[in-house]
Amino acid sequence: VKPGETYVLARPDAPAFFQIVAEHMRLVAPRRRFGGDAGFEVLERAGEIDWDYGHDPFPPKRYLLPPVETLFHYRADGRLELEPPKPPEPTALVGVRPCDVNALHLAGRFYSGPIRDALATERLERTVVFALACNRAPRRECFCICCDAGPWLESGFDVQMTDLGERFLMEVGSEKGASACAPGASLLRPPSEADFSSQARLRREADASFETTAYVAKAMTLISADEIPRAAWDNLAATCFRCGACTHLCPVCTCFTVYERPGGGGEISRCRSWDSCQLAGFTREASGHNPRDTQGRRLQRRMFHKVSYATVQRDGAPGCVGCGRCVAGCLTDLGLPAVLLGLRRSVGAGPRPRVRVAEKEPAC
């Protein structure tokens, strides 16, 4: 098996193929649960993979950075004894939608940046991602096509699978993907011209299947030019419950907070958990001063990190992959497309703003 090559895996052989993969690494894949919901879980048996799961409401970033984790333990009774965490297991993440593959890249870029997060970076390095291209938008809220993040990938995958019905087209994109596929190579066959034609037809149909759009380009211009009146941010944020669901469900959001948890016998645990820029305490300083003291400013911050030229310059892509989770998860319709539409309307039909590319966030 080589990077750049494409193979065919017969659907009835998929359980055997991924069972072989699971002999070499932890298998994480979508499974249908009691009650009908589907989501990613650690699986013992590859036959449980649900290839028609649609969309996991919870992002795969939890396999890079768990919602709550203990970083290490120490004793503070006069001598310092550190107990570091166990090294991450090699993992195959199977069936990841293209938007979430792009989100993993963005999160990985953050964790491997100037202040390197060794734990999250190592987890990503030890993860092989089997992307599953979307043959249609998995749900009404999806708009990855507006963010150039789906419904299928041109590059950046270890393996990209396309469901052709009775078989999967398997595009191998990296050495990691090739190594993960190699033990099951006897189950892979060469593709035919008809397989590529079917894939091209499915891609055309997928591109035409979206119901939700987001004015990303227009919003990027407005936000980057800092042309949105403060009152517009405040009006938009007026209905926010400050629950943090939008950022916790977002596969691209990476913020966390760190704290100490005392245990018995003088042992102390250094922990971290996901945090949200939509919560008032996120930027509150020890003095009590909060530089983002209104929900409007917190919404402005969130959108700057999602949709601005500065973000694109830094990361090479917007900070949104159009997964639609903030649309589905917000009780008050402050998902990203609704906010961008509100911003567009708040500026009205005046002249287009002159764009200066902000080097950093607007001063608060």
CA angle 351, 335, 221 (to 5 degrees): 25
Residue 133 tokens, joined: 């291209």
Number of residues that bind ligand SF4 (CB under 6 A): 26
In the complex with ligand SF4, the residue whose CB is nearer, 225 or 327, is 327
What is d(CA 301, CA 299) in angstroms, rounded to the nearest whole number?
A: 5
In the complex with ligand SF4, the residue whose CB is nearer, 119 or 339, is 339
In the complex with ligand SF4, the residue whose CB is nearer, 60 or 184, is 60
In the complex with ligand SF4, the residue whose CB is nearer, 134 or 323, is 323
Interface with ligand SF4 (CB under 6 A), residue from 252, 277, 317, 340: 252
Sheet holding 38-43, edge to edge: 38-43, 26-32, 91-96, 127-132, 159-163, 167-172, 6-10, 188-189
Residue 97 tokens, joined: 């939608």
What is d(CA 323, CA 328) in angstroms, rounded to the nearest whole number?
A: 10
Helix locations, 129-190, DSSP H: 175-181
Q: Any residues with CB less than 8 A from the CB of 354 and at least 6 apart, and which?
A: 225
- Which of these segments, 112-120, 204-212, 257-265, 323-331, binds ligand SF4 (CB under 6 A)? 323-331
In the complex with ligand SF4, the residue whose CB is nearer, 17 or 143, is 143
- Which of these segments, 4-12, 80-88, 183-191, 317-325, binds ligand SF4 (CB under 6 A)? 317-325
Shortest distance, CB of residue 250 to ligand SF4, whole angstroms? 3
Residues 130-169 that bind ligand SF4 (CB under 6 A): none
The reply to whether 323 sits near ligand SF4 by the rule CB under 6 A is: yes
Strand partners, 269: 73, 261
CA angle 167, 131, 208 (to 5 degrees): 80
- Which of these segments, 119-127, 199-207, 316-324, 355-363, binds ligand SF4 (CB under 6 A)? 316-324
The reply to whether 243 sits near ligand SF4 by the rule CB under 6 A is: yes
39 contacts 58 by C-beta, under 8 angstroms: yes
In the complex with ligand SF4, the residue whose CB is nearer, 197 or 235, is 235
The reply to whether 336 sits near ligand SF4 by the rule CB under 6 A is: yes
Query: Footprint of ligand SF4 on this chain (CB under 6 A)?
Result: 240-246, 249-252, 278, 306, 320-326, 329-332, 334, 336
